[in-house]
Amino acid sequence: MSRPETIKRFRILPGQFEVGAELTPTGKTRRDYVMAKYASDIDALYA
């Protein structure tokens, strides 16, 4: 893996993603919902 592709920062979120909220019935992540719900945490990673 090249240097730009490596994970530099991460955050462990409280709780698990649930079907219906963060996950679709097939287990895919609802990215728009997760981005809106955890916007402050995501912004803090890039600050």
How far apart, in Å, are the Cα atoms of 9 and each of 2, 3, 23, 26, 28? 16, 13, 23, 28, 23
Q: Render pLDDT for 1-47 as a digit per residue (tens, 0 to 9).
A: 788 889 889 999 988 999 999 999 999 999 999 999 999 999 999 88
pTM of the entire predicted model: 0.73
For residue 18, give Cα distances in angstroms to 4, 6, 30, 44: 31, 28, 10, 24
Can you name the residues that pair with 23 across neighbouring β-strands? 19, 29
